[in-house]
A and B are shown apart, each in its own frame.
Chain A
Amino acid sequence: MSLDTAYADRRGSNRLGHTVELAGLALTAVFAVLALLFVVVDWLRFGGGPAGAAATGIFDQYIAAGAVLDTVLGTRVFESPGTIRVVMTGVLIGIVGPLVGTFLVHRQMALIGETLAHTAFAGVAVGVVVAGLTGIAGTRDQLVFIAFIVSAVAALGLQRLTEYTDSYGDVPIAIVLTGSFAVGTLLISMFRDRLAIGIDIEGFLFGQFAIVTVEGTRMVAVLTVAVVALVVVNYKQFLFITFDEQAARVARLNVRGYNSLLIVMTAVVVVGAMQILGVILVAGLLVIPAAAASQLGRNFRETLYLSVLFGQLSVLGGLFIALVGSLPGGGSIIVVAIGCYIAAVAVSDRSAGQLSIH
C-alpha cells in the first residue's frame, strides 16, 4: 500500500524525532523540578532556622545561575529574583496549559479557555469589591486567589449551561465571555478607589511580570502538581470521553463528573497563567501548542507530550525575547507559539484545516 511505503520512508526521520522528543521531555522534567524546588526555597528562606539557611543557600544558587546568564548575554535581568520567579512560573504554566489544552482542543472547546479567562477577570473584580467593602488590604495575591474561586465556580456554571443547551455553542460562550468582562470593568472602576493598592487593569489584561508574586508562584506550583496528578490518574477517562463521549457514556463512565473536573482544571490553569499572559492572551497557551502538536502526533499520548514541549518552547522562548528585549511577555509567548504552529504545519503531512473540520 502506498501509504505504508510512505510510513516506512518516514521511519528514519521518526526515530530522530522520537529521540528529540524524549530529550525534550527529560529537559522539561528537569525544568519542572527546578521550578518546584525554587518555589519551595523561595518560601522556606524566610522561615529562619537551619531550613531557612539551607533554602537561602539554594536560592543564591539560582541568583548566581541568573547572573551567569546575564554575563553571557550582557544583560542585567536574569539575576533578579523577580525575573527568576517569572521564568519558573512560566515553566510550570508551560506544562499545565498545553496539558489541559490538548483535551480542550479535541473536544472543540478551544474558546472555553478564553471565556474562563474573562470570568477570571470578573473574579479579580469581585476581589476588588470584597476588599473595598471589607476594608482588607486587597493585595494582588488575594485578588488572584478570589479569581481562582470565581473562575472555578463560573466554569461549573458554564458547564451546566452548555449541558442545558446541549452544545458548547458560540452564543452562550459569547454571552458569558463579554458579560463577565463587562461586569469586571464596571466593578473595578466603581471600587478601585477604596483599595490601598492601585489596581492596574492593564496588568491583568495583558499580563505583567510585576504581578507575579511569591504567593502567586506558590499557587501556580500547587495547581501544577494537582493538575498533572489529576491528568495522570484520569488520563484514560479523559481520553475516552474526548474521543467518543457517547461511547464513554454507554461504557458507564461518569462523563459529567470528568467534564466538570476538566473544566475546573482549565479554570485554575487559566488564572495561574493569566498572571504572565494576561486575560486576553492566556487561551493561546492552552490552544496553540496543542494545535501544533496535533499536526505531528501519531497517537494521542505523543500529541500530549509534544504539546507540553511546544508549550515549554513557547514560554521559555517568549519570556527570553520579552526579558532581553523589554517587550510584553504575553505577546512574545503567543508569537513564539504561533511560530511553532506554523513550523509544525510546514513539516506535517496533514492539512491544517483538518482540525477545524467536524
Chain B
Amino acid sequence: MSTAVEVEGVTFAYGETVAVEDVSLRVAEGDFLGLIGPNGSGKTTLLHLMIGLKQPDAGTVRLFGKPAAAFEDGERIGYVSQRATDRSRSMPVSVREAVLMGRFPHVGHSRPGPADHDLVDEALERVDIADLAQRPIGKLSGGQRQRTFIARALAAEADLLALDEPTVGVDADSRTDFYDLLDELNEQGITIILIEHDVDILTEHVDCIACLNRKLYHHGDTVSFLESDAIADAYGSTGKIVTHDHP
C-alpha cells in the first residue's frame, strides 16, 4: 500500500521548548490513525507538521511521496482545526458557501462551474446536511458544523482528512453519528488522521494509534496499543486521561 504521510526523525521546538522530538511514523493510504497524548504533548504540532503547516527543525515529512514543504496539491488534504470552528460562529457564511470553499483550490481565480456545484451538492448529501445548505453556519449545532467541514473536505475531493479534536463541544449522540460517518468515509478509502483525547472513542473507531508525549511512545494497531503500557508511560503518574469504566 502506498504511503500518505511519512514522518522521519522529526523534531520541532517553539523557541527553547521542544514540542515534538525525533518522531518517526508512517501513515499508509486508507489508514485511520488516532493521535493521543496528554495536553501539551505536541499532538497538534505533529499534525501541523504532517500536513505541512509547520516545517520541522530536523527530520523530514513527506506527503504522498513529496516533501511536505513542496507539496502543491493542497486540495488533497481536508483539514478541520479547532480554530475554524470558533471563527465560523460569528461570520455570516452559509453552509453552502463553506462547502464550496473546498472547490476554491481547484478553480483558482475562475468561477466555480456546474461540476463544482454538483460536487458540493453531493458532499452535502453525503454528510446529511443538504437541508441546511442555506443556513448561516453560526446557527448550526456543533455536530452539524463539523459535518459542514467534512463536507468541505469531500467537495475538495480530499483523500486525506486531518482532524484536530473535531468533537469538542459536540453532544454525545451527534458525536457517535460523526464517528460513524468517519468510519464510512475511511471504508471508502479516505485516509484519516484524528486527534482525540477520549481513549475509548478512539480505540473503538481507529485502526492505528500513535501515542505521543513529545516523543512517540507507541505507534501500531489498536490492539497492540491497548496491550502496551504506552498510555501510562506517556501520561506519567500525574497525567489525566479520559477513560470510562466499562468492560
Contact = CB atoms under 8 A, between A and B. Distances in A.
Interface of B: 51-53, 71-75, 77, 79-81, 83-84, 86-94, 96-98, 101, 104-105, 107, 109, 131, 134-136, 138-139, 152, 156, 162
Interface string A226-270: 000000011011011011101101111100000000000000000
Nearest to B98: A243
Contacts of A253: 74, 104-105
10 residue pairs, one from A and one from B, having the closest CB atoms: A252-B74, A299-B94, A251-B74, A250-B79, A297-B92, A244-B84, A251-B105, A303-B92, A106-B91, A236-B104
Interface stretch (A21-29, A37-45, A122-130, A350-358): A350-358
A15 interface: no
B83 to A, nearest CB: 6
B80 A243 contact: no
Contacts of A7: 135
A233 B90 contact: no
A354 B90 contact: yes
A244 B87 contact: yes
11 contacts: A106-B91, A237-B104, A239-B93, A244-B84, A244-B88, A250-B53, A251-B74, A253-B105, A299-B97, A300-B93, A354-B138
Contact of A242 (B91, B135, B139): B91
B90 A358 contact: yes
Given A3-B139, A233-B109, A243-B87, 19 more contacts: A3-B135, A236-B101, A239-B97, A243-B93, A244-B81, A246-B81, A246-B84, A247-B152, A252-B74, A253-B74, A294-B90, A294-B92, A298-B134, A299-B93, A299-B97, A300-B91, A303-B92, A354-B90, A354-B138
Nearest to A244: B84
Contact of B89 (A244, A301, A354): A354
Contact of A246 (B79, B93, B107): B79
A253 B77 CA distance: 13
Nearest to A299: B94
B75 A243 contact: no
Nearest to A249: B53
Nearest to A294: B92
Nearest to B138: A354
Q: Which of the listed residues B71, B73, B83, B87 has the most CB atoms from chain A within 10 Å of its own CB?
A: B87
B contacts with A: majority SS: mixed
Nearest to B162: A250
A357 B89 contact: yes
A244 B97 contact: no
Contact of B77 (A244, A251, A302): A251
Interface string A1-12: 001100100000
Contacts of A251: 74-75, 77, 79, 104-105, 156
Nearest to B81: A246
Given A244-B87, A252-B72, A301 B53 contact: no
Contacts of B97: 239, 299-301
Interface string A297-312: 1111111000000000
A237 B107 CA distance: 11
B90 to A, nearest CB: 5
B105 A252 contact: yes
A143 B89 CA distance: 42
A355 B74 contact: no
Contacts of B77: 250-251
Contact of A240 (B104, B131, B134): B104
Nearest to B107: A236
Contacts of A246: 53, 79, 81, 83-84
A355 B91 CA distance: 8
A259 to B, nearest CB: 15
A301 to B, nearest CB: 7
B92 A298 contact: yes
A350 B137 CA distance: 13
Contact of A299 (B89, B136, B156): B136
Contacts of B101: 236, 239-240, 243-244, 247
